[in-house]
């Protein structure tokens, strides 16, 4: 006579087998190599990119870039965006923002558009958004070094720009026609507070930052363009020794600032520093009247 196994024992056995199978499956999945690079083929459709707030994400373009155009409001919601000369972008969002379009411009004439957003870590995992994003353009032969670099195996190329290179680029960006501007690879425009600051001793001029760039040299260098407007009935002669702040180089678009209301009463100065302007400048924002009353 056959003895039937109790139903409860059968259920327990099946449940145990299922649990063992689930545990083994998860263990196998944990042992499987994770895909650490995300590849996207450029098809002329803007690529959607999500940045995890507080975590740096790298975006690799097929070719080096000459300019990375980002809306000003996104610059204020991010750490300074770094651009390497091989076409890699390093971007860390400081706060969430909705999709905005950015453009990566190359010297070859190719441009790539991204629709970028930043999100909070609400679910406790950023794994999908932390991976480097590699953009593939079928029009361009891929470089094996690019894939190696995506795996973290290639070393960064050092940039050897000097102060003259940075000042010349800043001057061309302010005064040159758009079609003739040639940005330096690895140099990215970053945000700067444009309120007046007191940085010049002895001259009755109003000094206002209007643009700032960061060069990914070692160490990093920053160049800031300062709009200078006369507030005096006398001419002001440029004297870099009167500049206040931690600056390693300074240059003037015009060495003479004419008296107020005369032609030439406004010009641009360029200040190079090893720190962002807000850290290199000695003072906080002032009113135009306060700045103009420099002693």
**pLDDT tens sequence across 42-70:** 999 999 999 999 999 999 998 888 788 99
Domains identified in the chain, total number: 2
Residue 277 within a domain: yes
Residue 13 within a domain: no
* CATH number of the domain where residue 42 is located: 2.60.40.1550
pLDDT value at position 264?
92
The reply to whether 200 and 179 lie within a common domain is yes
The Cα–Cα gap between 209 and 289 comes to 16
The reply to whether 141 and 185 lie within a common domain is no
Select from 234, 292, 285 the least CA-distant residue to 258: 234
Q: Burial, 154: exposed, middle or buried (Cβ in 10 Å; 0-12, 13-18, 19+)?
A: middle
Among 94, 117, 150, give the residue marking a domain's end: 150
Among 150, 172, 192, give the residue marking a domain's end: 150
The reply to whether 44 and 134 lie within a common domain is yes
Diameter over CA atoms, the chain: 120
- Confidence band for 122, pLDDT divided at 50, 70 and 90: low
pLDDT value at position 288?
58
pLDDT value at position 187?
85
The domain in which residue 61 lies consists of 38-150
Question: Which residues is 82 bridged to in the sheet?
Answer: 90
Is pLDDT above 70 for 195?
yes
The reply to whether 183 and 63 lie within a common domain is no
pTM, 2 dp: 0.50
Neighbours of 131 (CB within 10 A): 17
The reply to whether 253 and 197 lie within a common domain is yes
Among 104, 129, 150, give the residue marking a domain's end: 150
For the four alpha carbons of 55, 190, 165 and 135, in that order, the dihedral sign comes to: positive
pLDDT value at position 267?
94
- Confidence band for 162, pLDDT divided at 50, 70 and 90: confident
The reply to whether 144 and 216 lie within a common domain is no
Residue 103 within a domain: yes
The reply to whether 114 and 175 lie within a common domain is no
Contact 253, 175 (CB under 8 A): yes
Q: What is the mean pLDDT of residues 210-216?
A: 89
Residue 96 within a domain: yes
The reply to whether 75 and 185 lie within a common domain is no
Lowest mean pLDDT among 89-93, 157-161, 221-225: 157-161
User: Per-residue pLDDT tens for 221-273?
Assistant: 999 999 999 999 999 998 999 999 999 999 999 999 999 999 999 999 999 99
Question: Which residues is 203 bridged to in the sheet?
Answer: none
The Cα–Cα gap between 174 and 99 comes to 29
The reply to whether 244 and 223 lie within a common domain is yes
């Amino acid at each position: 006579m056959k003895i039937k196994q109790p139903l409860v024992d059968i259920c327990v056995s099946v449940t145990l087998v299922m649990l063992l199978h689930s545990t083994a499956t998860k263990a196998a999945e944990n042992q499987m190599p994770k895909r650490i690079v995300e590849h996207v083929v450029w098809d002329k459709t803007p690529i959607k990119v999500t940045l995890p707030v507080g975590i740096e994400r790298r975006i690799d373009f097929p070719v080096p870039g000459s300019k990375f155009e980002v809306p000003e409001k996104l610059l204020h919601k991010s750490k300074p965006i770094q651009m390497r000369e091989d076409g890699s972008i390093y971007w860390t969002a400081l706060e969430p923002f909705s999709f905005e379009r950015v453009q990566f411009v190359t010297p070859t004439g190719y441009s790539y558009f991204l629709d970028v957003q930043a999100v909070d870590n609400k679910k406790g995992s950023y794994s999908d958004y932390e991976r480097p994003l590699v953009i593939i353009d079928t029009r361009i032969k891929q470089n094996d070094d690019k894939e190696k670099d995506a795996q973290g195996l290639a070393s960064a190329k050092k940039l050897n720009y000097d102060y003259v290179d940075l000042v010349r680029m800043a001057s061309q960006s302010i005064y040159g026609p758009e079609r003739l501007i040639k940005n330096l690879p690895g140099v990215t425009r970053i945000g700067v507070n444009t309120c007046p600051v007191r940085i010049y001793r002895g001259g009755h001029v109003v000094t206002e930052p209007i643009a700032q760039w960061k060069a990914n040299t070692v160490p990093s260098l920053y160049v800031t363009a300062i709009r200078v407007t006369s507030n005096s009935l006398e001419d002001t002669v440029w004297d870099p020794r009167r500049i206040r702040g931690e600056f390693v180089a300074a240059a003037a678009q015009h060495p003479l600032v004419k008296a107020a209301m005369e032609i030439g009463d406004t010009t641009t100065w360029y200040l190079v520093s090893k720190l962002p302007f807000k850290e290199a400048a000695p003072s906080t924002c002032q009113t135009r009247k306060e700045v103009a009353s420099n002693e």
